[in-house]
Amino acid sequence: MKLYYSPGACSLSPHIALLEAGLPYDLEKVDLRAKKTENGDDYLTVNPKGQVPALRLESGELVTEGPVIVQMIADRAADKGLAPARDSAERYKLLEWLNFITTELHKNFGPIFSPVLADEAKAFFKDRVMGKFRYIDSQLAGRDYLMGKQFTVADGYLFTMLSWADRMKFDLSAMPNLVAYKTRVAARPKVQEALSKEGLLKAA
């Protein structure tokens, strides 16, 4: 498998999932502005959506959209417990979390990164994101991870959004459950490995 990624982008989520799953994979960096791969290829010929992540399977098929990719990875390493069993009630709970993160967090973050959007508009979207984080903070009370005691692919996705919050200097100090959760996920060896491979670890 080959993961097309951009450092620190939402492709960090499947990168974490691949490492946690212990599956063999190759990485190819993408310049999202130029739409070029690190080999100089036109990325739009790989993924016409022009976005990361994209996962090239051994069959040659390309899979896009992060929440789908991470489930596929989890299902290929079912023994790792990165997703509950298909058709189980818990699997639908995981789907609920993945959909919440992708629609309520990920999509509301997009405008905040815009170089042309007015600060007032960015503040509106930041307030929306903070409201979603407050909800998650309430749901994490008494839990190690989103699904309870078990780390799942939804946690890798939420951690990626929390890393964006760091980058945008969000103050999450009033959300102790979320702050403790972020520290807990960041300490996982495979998460550290993904950050290291993407050049995201800050020098001590």
Percent of the chain with pLDDT over 90: 98
pLDDT in the model for residue 31: 97
Tokens 């070029």 belong to 36
Query: What average pLDDT does this structure show over 85-109?
Result: 97
Give the model confidence (pLDDT) of 52-96 as tens digits. 999 999 999 999 999 999 999 999 999 999 999 999 999 999 999
Listing DSSP states for 31-46 in one string gives ETTTTEETTS-BHHHH
Spell out the domain ranges in the chain. 2-80+192-197, 89-188
Mean pLDDT of 169-197: 98
Fold of 2-80+192-197: Glutaredoxin (3.40.30)
Query: Is the predicted pLDDT of residue 204 greater than 70, yes or no?
Result: no
CATH number assigned to the domain with residue range 89-188, chosen from the 4 options 1.10.3720.10, 3.40.50.2300, 1.20.1050.10, 2.130.10.30: 1.20.1050.10
What's the pTM value of the predicted model, to 2 decimals? 0.96
Average pLDDT for residues 162-175, to the nearest whole number? 96
How far the first Cα of the chain sits from its last, in Å, is 33
Burial of 192 (0-12, 13-18, 19+ CB in 10 A): middle
Q: What is the mean pLDDT of residues 193-199?
A: 97
